[in-house]
Amino acid sequence: MSSPTPDRPNAVVVRRDRAGYRLEAERSGSVAVANEFLEALSIRGLSPATVRAYAFDLVVLYRWLHQEAQLAVEQLSPDDVLRFIEHQQRAGAQPKSINRRLVTCEQLYRFITGVAMSHARLGGAPHYAGRGREQALGLHPRKRVLRRKLRVKEPQRVVEPLTVDQVGALLRRLSRYRDIAIVHLMLLCGLRSMEVLSLRLNDLVLADKRLRVRGKGNRERDLPLADIIAKVISDYIRVERPRDAATEHLFVILQGARRGRPMTTAGLRSLFRHRRKTSGQLVQANPHRLRHTFGADMARAGVRLPILQRMMGHADGKTTLQYIRVSMADVALEYARAMTAIAKRYDEKA
């Protein structure tokens, strides 16, 4: 990202260096504590992708603080936070994005002040010490009273998985073993983009058809490999992957000056972007949609929720449920089956 320019004194941008992600502003002192917060996130072991997301949320917050509110983070009141929400809504931000930025704002406020941000106007229990404390008074357990969070209501959307025809169209447009392996890992193992890019050669146990994956929070999980995935990965390593690659990452760049270097997030995005541009049928083809298709396919096949939760690397089963909400196609199919049975029953009575 470019540095702030003199004619925009309130500009705030994200820059990445060897130490990680940080904010830059014309008045460097105004974002110093935000950079301390980002450094603390890195020290805690959060993934670079997560720290990057926090950094860009902080950019949005600090631009508003500098240009609109003329406040410091520690001066924010409930009314100020409501103004920030209104500003985001006018800017066209989605509810999910607004809520994520509110979480970032609350965590930064607590990092600076040492106390939780007050939402007293919304109700709550200011005397409650927090989760896991003051659970009992003498012999009588105390009913837990949770603080209400200031959040924007998020609409419940059903994400349609890719159809069989769409999956076939995507695979037909792939010519490299590497790209085919990546798509299969997302479609048949449910891997996230960063999980694919972080795979290393020693994570593969092809003899046992097993794969070790590092997920969010550095949580590891082992997944079985279908025969088709094991074969295409073997072909990729044997035919395409440079033998002199200067990395242990499984997926690397195959051409150009950076041949043999680890594949980047931008390179992975371009793989899907190019296919979407060449086919209107693939307008919805992206890594997240492939992962969602995996979850839907597993649910349709009768995989139990705890197993699917582990396969997808979710810490909370509620997250897994979001991936397996039935689509309109599923509803229509079950409705047609039911109507056939109902019609047959009434025909027998006639």
> pLDDT tens digit string along 265-303?
889 988 888 787 777 677 778 888 899 899 888 988 888
User: Would you write out the chain's pLDDT as a tens digit for each of its 350 residues?
Assistant: 444 443 444 578 888 877 789 998 877 677 899 999 999 998 888 888 889 999 999 999 999 998 887 888 999 988 899 999 999 999 999 999 999 999 999 999 999 999 988 765 544 444 444 454 444 444 455 555 445 577 888 877 767 888 898 899 899 889 999 999 999 999 999 999 999 999 999 999 988 899 999 888 778 899 999 999 999 999 999 999 999 998 999 999 999 999 999 999 889 988 888 787 777 677 778 888 899 899 888 988 888 888 989 999 888 888 788 776 666 667 777 888 899 889 888 887 66
CA–CA separation, 37 and 102 (whole Å): 15
Q: Specify the amino acid at residue 164.
A: V
Q: Decide: 104 and 61 in contact? Cβ < 8 Å.
A: yes
Confidence at residue 163, expressed as pLDDT on a 0 to 100 scale: 86
Nearest residue to 82 (alpha-carbon basis) of 60, 98, 104: 98
Confidence at residue 124, expressed as pLDDT on a 0 to 100 scale: 45
CA–CA separation, 56 and 154 (whole Å): 21
- The string of DSSP codes covering 223-276 is EE--HHHHHHHHHIIIIIS-TT-SS-BSSB--SSTTTTSBPPHHHHHHHHHHHH
Distance from the first to the final alpha carbon of the chain: 74
Give, in degrees to the nearest 5, the angle at Cα 192 between 221 and 17: 105
Confidence at residue 143, expressed as pLDDT on a 0 to 100 scale: 55
Two tokens, residue 294: 């995996």
The pTM (predicted TM-score) of the whole model is: 0.71
Confidence at residue 10, expressed as pLDDT on a 0 to 100 scale: 54
The number of helices, as runs of H, and strands, as runs of E, in the chain is 13, 7
Whole-angstrom Cα Rg for the chain: 25
Which domains are assigned to the chain? 12-118 (1.10.150.130), 164-331 (1.10.443.10)
Other Cβ atoms within 10 Å of 299 Cβ, number:
20
β-sheet bridge partners, residue 224: 210
